[in-house]
Structure 1
Amino acid sequence: MLEPHSLMMDLESELFNYTAGRFLYASCIFANDAHHFRERTRVFNIPGLFNTIAKAMNCGTEQIVDFRKLAEGGFNRIFLITLDTDFQLVARILYPLLVPKAYAVASEVATMDFLRSKGLPIPKAKTEYILMEYVKGTNLSQIWSDLEEDEIISLMDQLAKVESSMMSISFPAGGSIYYARDLKELSGNEGIPLHNQVESIAFEKERFCIGPIEQLKIKSVLFAGAEKDLAYLNQFGAPRVPYECFRMEHYNNEKQLPSDHIENLGRYLRLAPSLVPDDDSLSAFCIRHPDLTDSNLRVSTDSGCLQMLSVLDWQHAAVLPLFLHAGMPKFIQNEDDEVSKDDQDREGELLRRRLVHYHYNLSTATHNRIHHKGLGYFATDGATCPVVFTEIAAAEELWQALANAKRGERWLRDFVAYGEETWVPAAHYEAAKAIGQEVKRRTFKACAEDEEMTKETYAVIEANSPLDDMNEDELEEYK
């Protein structure tokens, strides 16, 4: 018998703390490694979780024979639970950085249950911790780079069929899916019932709803985010450094007033009405996976052919107009051919990426024609542009400079080998940190030897190195 109380003794245990990776530095607004660690530390009640599992599985807590951390994602920690019957399930514990937790959990569980009821390959989920059935198989990310062409063709065909089934479900409004009882408890609102959406469970036809209660019209969807940002900036806007340190020199190494961003948001709001397509079918509300990646697809090769088993991770899934959902998943896109590899490996990788891109597009055209139409959607033709730009040459010069800065950041990322928010695997942290410090040393040495560089410019470069952490006072300033 596994004793849950004994697992609570060590608060430094990997059960409560982030161990999958480290963060190299704070790139202007990114937090320090220690700050990231605190955001992902979550001490939870293990005996309480065991009681919840026992209640959900109609068993005793003494039947839980194994409990271990399985993986760590961007917003949650995943645990594998094994019962004495050999049945396995997964528990997901959210990090403190995810807010608002109650809405996020309630919506994700309801979304998974709703899509599962429509026959889609989604794990069965329960709340309050988010308990899900454990889907055996292999994460596609583990074999993605080794797929043969016939496997790519088969997988893209299966994926297009799943997306077609998902995106063909009609909705009366935009928003997030909830259980009606959960939304009522969380917000006091009834939501918009999803009538006749779950024909196979007749007595529960109205258990799902769309929240918030207001039915979003198409133009409202386009306006809402910009209007929210404008309201915030007008009340709380303050000078900020550019999002990426590599851009600072192109903004005179100074904090920028929010007025430029406010002006751009105003331009967007004038353009937004022209973004609504004339084809009404592209404005129909539908749902799609919010972040489809190779790590969110579970596959099997047991039968000798690649079989897609399940689609994981439905946090932040939303019902939106189809033209806003349309697009190729990032891990399938091949819009540029930049790959940092040796020549032979590079050519093989380019060929694989082109095959994936081509066969996803072909399968989507075959099985999901409305999405394929959305992939080629353009805004209304023939209308007079409501925005007039001046000083085009200066804007073009800045754009080129920022593009160069982006290439510099990409080079550093590839050279040091870090991911989003400077994440690296824990085992690679010390080596990556050393490489980064050596790049910094060589950069400063080259600057010091540049006869045309003034002391003032050198001081600015030294103070804004992209490989330095921010102190805690600076982190508070950017919250």
Structure 2
Amino acid sequence: MSVTTAPPVLRKAMEDGSAKTVIRLIETEAEISEEELYEYRRYRWLYGCSPAELIINSTLFLDRTSLRNLLYDIADSTSMPSWMWPLIRLPVELDHCVEGQFNKAFLMTMDNGAEVLAKIPNPNVGSAFYTTASEVATRNFVREFLNFPVPRIHTYSLDPLNPVGVEYIIEEKAGGKPLGNLWRHWPRESQQDLVTELVDLEAKLASVSFQSHGYIYYKDDLKTKGVRAQSLEAMYSSIGNPSKELDPSHMAKFVLGPLDQAVLWQGERATMALERGPWQNAVDYMLALGMNEIQWTKTCAAAQMNYCRPVDTPELPEEYISLLERYLILVPHLAPIFPEELHSKTLCLRDLHLDNIFVDPDTKRITHIIDWQSTPVSEIFFQYRVPAMLPPSSGYKSIPEPMSEGSRRSYSGESDDILRRYQDLTRIKNPLRWAAISHPHKSILQPVSLVSGAWSRNDVFSFRHALITIAAHWQDIYPDSIACPISFTDQELWLHNEEMELLEELGTVLHLLQDQNLIAVGGRVLRDDYERAHAVNTCVKEMFVDMGEDEQHKALYKKIWPY
């Protein structure tokens, strides 16, 4: 098929939900560079740019003409679904949606008013194949078996050599508006009603349990990869009703396959024979993460300076391997502390922040849940975090607005009420999830979430601190057990405590900047706010350096300031 028409108008969405024209592809209005459509444009980082931004901006992952004619290129392929034929006459507008960290999304509007969303992975996603394949299968699974409110996927491609030049998903536009644009303006009753609806959806996900730990895929999508996969066996249960097996004939098209987390597929790890799952139990999963990290460290890690330590010698990979070996010793002791029912494996949405929940502004009901990338099937005891939309537990904040002290206290009280409602409802409607959230020793799982990539992201301290904390509280956690199987020397503890003291001083300043809505921890700022944030950073950095008691300490403080 060949389609000839005028190029579409290109626009981008703004943070407040509005839109502005980036470039109209007609001669009289082409004064703005088309670069803005292809580059990562949402945030900047005060220390130059983040590793993610470096990857995104240094790689032209999509041919310029391919994006402009995305719908036509798909229409030319032999796999074009029938739903697309009425749409391919005249795409009149292409909106660049507000970006996430791992994807670009483009809303395509046709001359007949039809709208579809095209989503493509950024290079920092890790494996574009596994990320796309798992998201498609997971979304279709929850839509088909649980009638979950996710946008319908019209078509997708896992072949980077397709006419578009990258893996992609074409889906319906999410109905309604992002909750982040509305939440602060809703009355308390409406917020509480939405929390009730959210808990019901989480309980619906928890109603299906699986046999193994991994990610959901279509069997046919993994055939060419030669990776280990398991048949997807699942049971459905609800409170007060007996469990029943989901129809195996309908489940046969799905399998459980490897993790698609970016850290396991980036850089040198992409070509390494790492153990990425699936696994029959949590211990095998946790051990695999540690073994993967040892394999990468022995092959790729090099000594690096850590200016927060009170020594002038670099931190060595051998020190990191010693921590990893102690982690492996600890792993078999972690899972047994949780009751057997929490070893059940279910799907869990890990990124439920305000902008991933779409609602009808009139009815205030949830219309769609988006962003299903890297959604695991995991043991319930790993699902101990409350949704990020519920401050202060998860730390999610949309763009903050200045508030008076009285308003701040009022907002804090309202947030506490919303969090308590979530907790109360989860206790009743999703009791196993509540058992994970309220477990007194859930913090022993912190090393598991920190182990992958700790050296690469310069965060060995946090990993080490999690291990030391477990060792220090072993008798409280396991009062009837033998002595803690791992230990740390006096020298290790002294070096760690010295590093912690310096990091706590730094952290106090950085969190003060965040609490005052000046600079978020991590140095990420909206592009339009960069100059103001840069000026604030320069001033506060000078003040922090001046805190040093002598020139040696001032030089040290200057080195450890992160921005």
Same fold (TM over 0.5): yes
Pick the aligned partner of 2:210 from 125, 149, 171.
Answer: 171
1:373 has 2:440 as partner: no
Q: Distance in 2 between matches of 1:42 and 1:407?
A: 42
Distance 1:146 1:266, change over 3 A: farther
2:165 corresponds to which residue? Answer: none
1:411 corresponds to which residue? Answer: 512
Residues 257-291 of structure 1, C-alpha deviations (whole Å, 9 max, x = no match): 23333233222222222221452210111111132
Residues 185-213 of structure 1, C-alpha deviations (whole Å, 9 max, x = no match): 2x124722225789999865311110147
Equivalent position amino acid for 1:363 in 2: L
Q: Distance in 2 between matches of 1:104 and 1:252?
A: 41
2:407 corresponds to which residue? Answer: 345
2:444 corresponds to which residue? Answer: none
Partner of 1:107: helix, strand, or coil? helix
CA contact (8 A) 2:513 2:520 kept: no
CA contact (8 A) 1:173 1:210 kept: yes
Matches within 5 A, 1:229-244: 229-242=293-306
Pick the aligned partner of 2:322 from 251, 255, 263.
Answer: 263
Pick the aligned partner of 1:320 from 357, 369, 378.
Answer: 378
Equivalent position amino acid for 2:156 in 1: T
TM-superposed CA distance for 1:167, in Å, is 1.6
Equivalent position amino acid for 1:240 in 2: Q
1:217 has 2:318 as partner: no
Partner of 1:58: helix, strand, or coil? helix
Distance 1:137 1:254, change over 3 A: farther
1:25 has 2:51 as partner: no
Distance 1:429 1:287, change over 3 A: same
Q: Distance in 1 between matches of 2:403 and 2:318?
A: 42
Q: Distance in 2 between matches of 1:300 and 1:87?
A: 19
Residue correspondences, number: 452
CA contact (8 A) 1:196 1:206 kept: no
Pick the aligned partner of 2:416 from 354, 374, 385.
Answer: 354
Pick the aligned partner of 2:186 from 147, 150, 162.
Answer: 147
Which TM-score applies when normalising by structure 2? Answer: 0.71
Partner of 2:104: helix, strand, or coil? strand
Q: Distance in 1 between matches of 2:529 and 2:111?
A: 37
Residues 382-401 of structure 1, C-alpha deviations (whole Å, 9 max, x = no match): 22232244539735565444
1:383 has 2:481 as partner: yes
1:280 has 2:336 as partner: no
Q: Distance in 2 between matches of 1:26 and 1:240?
A: 20
Equivalent position amino acid for 1:14 in 2: E
Q: Distance in 1 between matches of 2:384 and 2:295?
A: 28
1:310 corresponds to which residue? Answer: 368
1:110 has 2:137 as partner: yes
Partner of 1:62: helix, strand, or coil? coil
Residues 53-103 of structure 1, C-alpha deviations (whole Å, 9 max, x = no match): 683433152143322212211011111112333222211121122221111
Q: Distance in 2 between matches of 1:154 and 1:6?
A: 39
TM-superposed CA distance for 1:109, in Å, is 0.9
Aligned-pair identity in percent equals: 23
CA contact (8 A) 1:22 1:424 kept: yes
Greater RCO (Cα-Cα under 8 Å, separation 6 or more):
1
2:425 corresponds to which residue? Answer: 363
Distance 1:90 1:301, change over 3 A: same
1:424 has 2:525 as partner: yes
CA contact (8 A) 2:308 2:499 kept: no
1:453 corresponds to which residue? Answer: 550
Q: Distance in 2 between matches of 1:127 and 1:420?
A: 36
Q: Distance in 2 between matches of 1:334 and 1:5?
A: 43
Equivalent position amino acid for 1:218 in 2: A
Q: Distance in 2 between matches of 1:5 and 1:229?
A: 47
1:15 corresponds to which residue? Answer: 37
Q: Distance in 2 between matches of 1:441 and 1:310?
A: 46
1:74 corresponds to which residue? Answer: 101
Distance 1:437 1:207, change over 3 A: same
Equivalent position amino acid for 1:133 in 2: E
Q: Distance in 1 between matches of 2:516 and 2:392?
A: 22
Equivalent position amino acid for 1:299 in 2: V
1:436 has 2:463 as partner: no
Equivalent position amino acid for 1:466 in 2: P
Distance 1:6 1:428, change over 3 A: closer
CA contact (8 A) 2:217 2:254 kept: yes
1:38 corresponds to which residue? Answer: 58
Instruction: List alignment gaps of at least 5 residues for structure 1.
Output: 243-247, 468-479
RMSD: 3.5
Q: Distance in 1 between matches of 2:379 and 2:98?
A: 33
Residues 385-434 of structure 1, C-alpha deviations (whole Å, 9 max, x = no match): 32244539735565444333322222344568334642211211122222
Residues 147-192 of structure 1, C-alpha deviations (whole Å, 9 max, x = no match): 332123211111111011102212121111111100112x124722
